[in-house]
């Protein structure tokens, strides 16, 4: 029997070694990249609201459909070692798997589908383009573009029965650590980045998806 009935997995710097908006910013050159990094740093220090930073960063990047195609390819090429095998093993054992990300859904979805996630198991922020490819903004107000969005989404999934307890949350960042108290256990993923403040709040620390598989399935799989 699995130790967890459901596993919630972050994408940027957890499932993949990419930070999506930073990747897009780098395509705009060092000046834009540095400005966006500074905004992110301010948000992490609590100096400005994450939700305002999210919109502002995307406005500065002004992404195009081609940018999202490049980001989608970057997600595929940077997927964590052993993630496909571990995800397949957990799914075969009947564990419910869900991706929860503040990243851009349209760039995340191709990899997610390759890994067997259905569309209703992919929770991220959608953006809109005009008919001629101009960036128009976030498709609709998304809790995942806010500081407390992940616990809000996960709570709703638990309440509606789409996630079954016990639930394990897995992620690398401060917004992931906010799942503490919502999920039954939270694992700080350190395979790409080790943030001491996140590790300090976590129930356990893992550095690979093989470790995740063993925690969820034990000696099976």
Task: Kindly report the three-state secondary structure assignment for every residue of 29-98.
Answer: CHHHHHHHHHHHHHHHCCCCCHHHHHHHHHHHHCCCHHHHHHHHHHHHHCECCCHHHHHHHHHHCCCEEE
pLDDT of residue 45: 54
Per-domain residue ranges of the chain: 6-18+79-217
The residues annotated with a catalytic role in the active site are: 10, 12
pLDDT digits (tens, 9 = 90+) for 33-43: 999 888 876 76
Q: Is domain 6-18+79-217 classified as CATH 3.40.50.1000? A: yes
Q: How confident is the model at residue 219 (pLDDT cuts 50, 70, 90)?
A: low
Indicate the SS3 state at residue 119. helix
pLDDT of residue 141: 76
pLDDT of residue 197: 87
- For residue 161, pLDDT over 90 is answered with yes
- For residue 2, pLDDT over 80 is answered with no
Which pTM was predicted?
0.93
């Amino acid at each position: 029997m699995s130790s967890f009935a459901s596993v919630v997995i972050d994408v940027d710097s957890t499932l993949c070694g990419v930070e999506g908006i930073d990747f897009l910013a780098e395509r705009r050159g060092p000046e834009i990249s540095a400005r966006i990094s500074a905004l992110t740093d301010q948000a992490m220090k609590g100096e400005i609201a994450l939700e305002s930073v999210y919109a502002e960063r995307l406005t500065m990047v002004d992404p195009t459909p081609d940018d999202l195609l490049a980001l989608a390819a970057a997600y595929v090429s940077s997927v964590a070692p052993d993630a496909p095998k571990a995800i397949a093993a957990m799914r075969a054992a009947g564990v419910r798997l869900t991706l929860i990300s503040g990243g851009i859904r349209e760039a995340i979805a191709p990899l997610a589908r390759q890994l067997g996630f259905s569309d209703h198991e992919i929770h991220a922020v959608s953006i809109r383009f005009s008919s001629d490819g101009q960036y128009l903004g976030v498709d609709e107000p998304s809790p995942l573009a806010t500081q407390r969005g992940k616990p809000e989404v996960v709570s709703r999934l638990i309440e509606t029965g789409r996630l079954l307890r016990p639930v394990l949350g897995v992620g690398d960042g401060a917004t992931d650590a906010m799942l503490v108290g919502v999920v039954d256990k939270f694992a700080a993923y350190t395979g790409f980045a080790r943030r001491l403040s996140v590790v300090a709040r976590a129930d356990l620390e893992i550095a690979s998806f093989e470790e995740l598989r063993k925690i969820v399935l034990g000696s099976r799989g």
